[in-house]
Each structure stands twice: as C-alpha cells, then as structure tokens.
Amino acid sequence: MDRARKYFKCTDGERAVFEAAIKLAMVFHQFVGVPVTRASARSLEKAIEEAVRIQPWVVRARARIDRRALVKTAGRYGYKSLDARMLVVEVETAYGRARARCSMRFVSELDYPLMCIDEVRLSGMK
Amino acid sequence: MDRARKYFKCTDGERAVFEAAIKLAMVFHQFVGVPVTRASARSLEKAIEEAVRIQPWVVRARARIDRRALVKTAGRYGYKSLDARMLVVEVETAYGRARARCSMRFVSELDYPLMCIDEVRLSGMK
Amino acid sequence: MDRARKYFKCTDGERAVFEAAIKLAMVFHQFVGVPVTRASARSLEKAIEEAVRIQPWVVRARARIDRRALVKTAGRYGYKSLDARMLVVEVETAYGRARARCSMRFVSELDYPLMCIDEVRLSGMK
Amino acid sequence: MDRARKYFKCTDGERAVFEAAIKLAMVFHQFVGVPVTRASARSLEKAIEEAVRIQPWVVRARARIDRRALVKTAGRYGYKSLDARMLVVEVETAYGRARARCSMRFVSELDYPLMCIDEVRLSGMK
C-alpha cells in the first residue's frame, strides 16, 4: 500500500526509477564533502548504505569508496573529502510490478559522475 | 544526442522522470541547512533554480521558499535554516519523446516532504 | 609541527577554538538532511564522529542523535531527516599550549542550534 | 547584547574567530557539490555571501568562484560541481572588542582547502 499513490501519475516502471534516482542524488549531494580516510571509509559507507535503505521502496543498497583515492599524503592535512570520483553506489527499488536497478559511478569518457538506469524489470509479464 | 545513452536501459518516460528526480533530490540534500531570512530568500531561490536549470534534460525549474516560515524572531539568533517544510520545487524535463513534470512539496497528511510525478507526456502518439 | 602555521596570525587559544568551530559547522552543514531512523542512528553517529576525529587538531569527538525525535510514524514515509534539534556534538581540540572544549546543541531559550565554547585551557601557566 | 553570552567561556578574540570559522565551514560543507557553470556562478556567489552575512557577528563576507575552473567541456555533461579548489571565501567578524579576518582558499603547497586566520584585532588597546 502506498499512502502517496495519488501524487503519482505514472507507470510502475517510472515510479521505480524515480525512487532510485532520489536515493542516488541524496548520496551525492548529502555526502560529497565529508572528510574521509582509509580508516574511516568503512563507517562512512555503512552510514550511506543505511541512509539509502531506510527510504521508501528500496530493496538493496551498496556504497563503495575507492581506497586508492584515499592514499594519505604526509601530515595532518593529508586526508581527503569525499568526492564523486571515489564513489560507486548501487540501488535497487521495487514498486508495484516494477523493479529497477540503478547506479552512480564516475564515467571517464564523460568525465562525469553518472547516475544511470541499469535495468527495469516488470514481473507478471509474458 | 545523448553521449550517455548506452548507460540507460529504459524507456524515454523512465529516463525523463529519473532525471527530474535527480534534480529534486539535489535541491533537498544540497540546500537544506542553508541559513536564510526573508531578505536573503530571493537570492537563494535564484541559486537553486540555476543549479537545477544547468543540469541535463531540464527545460524548466522553479523554487519557492515560503516567507511565512521566515518570520524572524528578535535578535541575532532569529534567522532560520532552510528546511524542506518551507520549500516548493518544480522541475520539467524532456528526453526523447517524453516530457515529465515533477515537484517537491511538504505534504501535511503524510508529514513528509514528498517528491512526486505530476505528469509524464509522450509526444507523437496517437 | 604545523605545516600551515604561517597562515595563522593568532594565539594558541584562538587557533584551538577556530579548529573546533570548523568541525562543529561541518557536522551541521554536512549531515543535516540525512534520512535517519532509530535503527540507523548509531551508524550515522559513528560516521559523524569519525569525520570529526580525522580532522586536524581534534583530540576527542562525540555525536549523539536524540532517539526520542526518531519515533517512527506508521508506514514508509515515517522516517525522519536529521535536523539540528536532534543533535548534540562535542569536540575537543588541542593546539600548541591550548585546549578547547566546544559543543553544539539545540538551546530552547534561543530556539537555536547553538555552537558554543565550553572551556579554553592553557597548559604550562601558573 | 548577546543573548547567548553565558554559553561562551572565552575571550572576545576567541569568540570572533570561532564565529568566523563556523561561517567558512558552513560554506564548504553546505555548498560543495552544487552544480555550477560560468553562467550560474554569480548567482551562487551571491547566495553564499548572503548566507554568510545573515549569520551572527558577521560584518563582511565575500565569495569568489574561479571561472577558469568552469571551462565547460562539450555537451550536456560538461558542467562542474562546486569544489573547494575553485572557491575563495573571506569573512570578517566583530565581537565585543575583537575583530577577526578569516578566509578559506586552496593552498597548493598543502594540497588542501585551508581555512585560516588572517588577523585578529582588539580595539581600545594601547
């Protein structure tokens, strides 16, 4: 049951990808800028994943921060701030008969942190 | 032409709402928390609208901050931080044959800042 | 040793509180808006504390999210977004001969999330 | 008059730099990640400056985004997200007898976006 259903004029597939996009953009715009080191990366990944998972219609969430981007240079100022180049996020949503797998990753050929739709599936179809 | 096309396995309608959702969630997660008064609200609305408009596939963007929520209480600590209850955002995207109108507004009956799909239109259809 | 020392024209006490303020404002402006429930609050507190701790001159950091503010209302839209009213952050910094204890908490009489200086101590003083 | 005075155990100079640091860190952690182009940079600078100016004890604020960092590569994915390397922020605060000039800028020799204390002045001193 969806108490917000009346606010959506769309198909189940459209709703599923809409919800996935909200979560991917949340991760980018909420967490980019957080100070991070190799030692703290795991706790940050976990907080990101939980922030995604507790939102409506999410069935799976995964966040990975590239440790190679976190090689600490010497001294106190050697840590990094999370940026989209280090981040891979995958989210799967389910709404009605639709299921969507979407992700965010830095795409070198575009020089751009792309949020994309990997698959939309409809169940109960022949 | 979309240089990122190959990263999307979906319909034009799904892509259009996906792109709209990214922009709405950007506004929420990027701008909630900004200090704001009645005097500064217009410049913040304008910055939000431009941040939406320059992103891919957006054809229209509008942000409004409710001035009634910005009644300043006395003294230096009387300003507010932007929160989702004060904010209405509308965005329209176009991708291929599809056009989507989406919005974010606080919905009292849900006590929730809802991002929703107001309309998806396909052109060239009988 | 501080590789950035030449960029600071100030006393050790001023530097210690300056560094503490940076960390408190980081927490507010980075993390306000993160979706949170009672179940996810601990992972978020931990990520906040680590993001503070890895920054320069921090000797102690503590973040607490008020679980009473996270009573979930029914349904999928019942979770909350982190706001400053739910958050208490304490940070202690040390620079040269100075040590500062600073904190952020919501102060009811001001209706304001106040960042304040609880104590500045100088060692080696008679 | 400062209604929050009792929450601060410190000198006027310490308070002035504490307040300046809050504003600099607000800019970093709130605005890093905002989509920006050469065309939108001015509205974003203005929103940043106003968000600083309306906060307690600020007497002057200035934000500049380096247009050279905003050279748009071809196509829809050619815009940038605001990052600390493009950003210079200056803030001046006054509290009691103290005045502080502080700033944030990217320091190449540290490969770090440094927030620093340029000057603390006390008035009425011989």
Burial readout A78-106 (b: 16 or more C-beta within 10 A, e: otherwise): bbbbbbbebbebbbbbbbbebbbbbbbbb
Number of other residues whose CB lies within 10 A of the CB of residue A29:
26
Q: Which residues of chain B make contact with C111, given a CB cutoff of 8 A?
A: 73, 77
Q: Are strands D112-122 and A98-107 parallel, antiparallel or unpaired?
A: unpaired
Those residues of chain C whose CB sits closer than 8 Å to some CB in chain A are 2-4, 26, 30-31, 33-37, 39-40, 43-44, 46-47, 50-57, 75-77, 79
pLDDT exceeds 90 at position A26: yes
B88: CB partners within 8 A, 6+ apart:
B63, B64, B66, B103, B104, B105
Tell me how far apart the alpha carbons of residues B63 and B31 are, in angstroms, rounded to a whole number. Answer: 11
Q: What is the pTM of this model?
A: 0.97
pLDDT of residue C126: 46
C77 to chain D, closest Cα gap in Å: 25
What ipTM goes with this model? 0.96
Range D41-70 average pLDDT: 97
Range A13-22 average pLDDT: 98
Rg (CA), chain C: 17
pLDDT of residue A126: 46
pLDDT, one tens digit per residue, over B84-112 is 999 999 999 999 999 999 999 999 999 99
- Give the model's confidence band at D125: pLDDT under 50 very low, under 70 low, under 90 confident, else very high: low
B5: CB partners within 8 A, 6+ apart:
none
pLDDT, one tens digit per residue, over C12-70 is 999 999 999 999 999 999 999 999 999 999 999 999 999 999 999 999 999 999 999 99
What subunits make at least 3 CB pairs under 8 angstroms with A? B, C, D
Count of A-B CB contacts under 8 Å:
111
A126 to chain C, closest Cα gap in Å: 30
Helices (H), C1-118: 12-31, 41-53
Looking at the partner chain, which of C40, C53, C54 has a beta carbon nearest the beta carbon of A51?
A: C40
Nearest residue on chain B to D27, judged by CA atoms?
B34
Percentage of chain C beyond pLDDT 90 is 92
C125 to chain A, closest Cα gap in Å: 27
Looking at the partner chain, which of B28, B33, B110 has a beta carbon nearest the beta carbon of C28?
A: B33
Q: Which residues of chain A make contact with D83, given a CB cutoff of 8 A?
A: 83
pLDDT, one tens digit per residue, over C86-104 is 999 999 999 999 999 999 9
- Give the model's confidence band at A90: pLDDT under 50 very low, under 70 low, under 90 confident, else very high: very high
- Give the model's confidence band at C125: pLDDT under 50 very low, under 70 low, under 90 confident, else very high: low
Range B19-36 average pLDDT: 98
Q: Is D50 helix (H, G, I), strand (E, B) or coil?
A: helix
Q: Give the mutation candidate from A37, A76, A77 for the D interface (greatest D CB count, under 10 A).
A: A77
* Encoded tokens for C45: 């507190």
Tell me how far apart the alpha carbons of residues D15 and D94 are, in angstroms, rounded to a whole number. Answer: 9
pLDDT of residue B126: 46
Length of chain A: 126
Tell me how far apart the alpha carbons of residues B100 and B126 are, in angstroms, rounded to a whole number. Answer: 18
- Give the model's confidence band at D124: pLDDT under 50 very low, under 70 low, under 90 confident, else very high: confident
Contact C77 B114 (CB under 8 A): yes
Could you tell me which of C72, C125, C76 has the C-alpha nearest to residue C98?
A: C125
